[in-house]
Amino acid sequence: MDEKVPRSNIIETEIPMGTVHPAALEPYRVRFFVEDEIVQEAEITIGVNHRGIERIMEGLPVEKANSLTEKICGICSNSHIWNSCRTAEIGLGIEIPERANYIRVIMGELERLHSHFLYLAHGCEVLSHETFSMRVFYLREIVMELLAMIGGNRVQYGCSVLGGVRPRCDLDEAKLLRLKEDMDKLEEGLTGFVERFINDSIVMSRITGIGVLPQKQAIELAVTGPTLRATGVARDLRTTMFEYDDFDFNVITQPDGDVKSNLVMRALESFESIKIIRQAIANIPEGKIVNRDWEMFDTDIIESYIEVPRGTLYHSYALESGRVRHCIIRTPSMANIGAMQYACIGDQITDAQLCIVQCDPCFTCTDRAIEIIRR
């Protein structure tokens, strides 16, 4: 299949879902146009969650604005504060100590683990396979407790500050030891889960070939992150980020772009994250965790892209006497909405919600004020 074409001219029935719907935790609205129970076109409407974080950030001191970016999303909160600090660091030319860099990578990968586990658990729940869902939720608790141990909170841990990480997040011997032990536990649990999941013929027959997103179309829609890699394109921003220079990891891809590829991709990517955390624990350098030796000056608009669990995250702002101006944030789910709409086409209406969930939606981050400029 090269391309999926929506057939918007023949609309027999419309099935709306939302804004509050059991399968999707977040409020959003989706309209399915259905013929003989086959989805012909899907249309996702967001905007229910819009709160205007960029507007609040405008004119705040940059340190305050950084910690505010955490409140954009409760799943990938660390990515937002990391990228926001990184933006200012690029603009002001602040050098980050090596140890702080390692701690940031550890937090980033732990967050990727908890996000992917949440995805797997939620995916299995939408599949109505509660046993698998519970197993992954149980594994996820290990990661959540590690995050609470390092950052002091289970969800928003505020690890990065301008120039490094905050003192609470420094890793001593005991914390490193626990991190190491829990990684072993996690790998064992995940291996068991993946073996059971892949060898379960009932689940596999349910998810193979469902919600296919063709590779050509994925590239056309500018899909990012694991959803793109599940269609066979090896594109990962971590390979170009200087933070990950010291680490050795593989970019995982899957061939088909269906629900099976997506689920298996996330599971295999979690193993890579465990690998990165192990390398970080083994090689973590001694030294300072924060660089306070920098000066504030006015800058032009600064841009920063990083790879977060769901794809590419973009932050940009200018600094004017220490305050944030012209803040723009673009989250990965924004790009993936197109993928969600196209993945449903041609499948049964009962699988439609699964096809949306396979693209790992996070509509809370996505509700930003956007302006499309056509040139």
Partner 1 sequence: MGIKSFSRARAIHVMLVYTGGCNGCDIEIVNSILSPRFDAEQYNVFLTWNPREADVLVVTGPVTHLNRKPLEEIYNAIPNPKLVVAAGSCALMGGVYKNCYGDIPSEEIEGPVENIIPVNAKIPGCAVRPQDVLAGVVSLLPILLDAD
Rounded least distance, CB 71 to partner 1, Å: 5
Q: What is the spatial distance between Cα 62 and Cα 251, in angstroms, rounded to a whole number? A: 34
Give the chain's radius of gyration (CA, Å): 21
Asked if 154 interacts with partner 1 (CB under 8 A), we say: yes
Q: What is the spatial distance between Cα 15 and Cα 99, in angstroms, rounded to a whole number? A: 53
Nearer to partner 1, 37 or 141 (CB): 141
Asked if 74 interacts with partner 1 (CB under 8 A), we say: yes
**Of 271, 285, 344, 326, which Cα lies nearest the Cα of 42?**
344
DSSP state of 290: B
- Quick one: which of 17, 39, 62, 77 contacts partner 1 (CB under 8 A)? 77
- Quick one: which of 31, 71, 178, 206 contacts partner 1 (CB under 8 A)? 71
- Quick one: which of 15, 48, 222, 296 contacts partner 1 (CB under 8 A)? 48
Produce one character per residue of 131-155: b if its CB has 16 or more CB atoms within 10 Å, e if not: ebbebbbebbebbbebbeebbeeee
- Quick one: which of 5, 14, 35, 52 contacts partner 1 (CB under 8 A)? 52
**Nearby residues of 331 by Cβ (< 8 Å), 6 or more positions away:** 72, 73, 310, 313, 362, 365, 366, 368
Mark residues 109-148: x for contact with partner 1 by CB under 8 A, - for none: ---------x--------------xx--xx-xx--x----
Rounded least distance, CB 307 to partner 1, Å: 20
Asked if 155 interacts with partner 1 (CB under 8 A), we say: yes
Using the rule CB under 8 A, give the single segment among 44-52, 98-106, 267-275, 289-297 that binds partner 1: 44-52
Nearer to partner 1, 33 or 117 (CB): 117
Cis-peptide into 191, omega within 30 deg: no
Q: What is the dihedral of CA 339, 345, 346, 351, to 10 degrees?
A: 80
Asked if 56 interacts with partner 1 (CB under 8 A), we say: yes
Asked if 240 interacts with partner 1 (CB under 8 A), we say: no
Q: How many CA atoms lie within 13 A of 16 on its CB side?
A: 7
Bridge partners, 38 (sequence order) = 35, 348
Q: What is the spatial distance between Cα 280 and Cα 274, in angstroms, rounded to a whole number? A: 10
Using the rule CB under 8 A, give the single segment among 45-53, 193-201, 298-306, 349-357 that binds partner 1: 45-53
Rounded least distance, CB 20 to partner 1, Å: 6
Which residues from 7-36 bind partner 1, rule CB under 8 A?
Answer: 19-22, 25-27
Contact 131, 284 (CB under 8 A): no
Rounded least distance, CB 215 to partner 1, Å: 30
Asked if 326 interacts with partner 1 (CB under 8 A), we say: no
Asked if 297 interacts with partner 1 (CB under 8 A), we say: no
Q: Given the rule CB under 8 A, which residues bind partner 1?
A: 19-22, 25-27, 47-53, 55-56, 68, 71-75, 77, 118, 133-134, 137-138, 140-141, 144, 153-156, 362, 364, 367
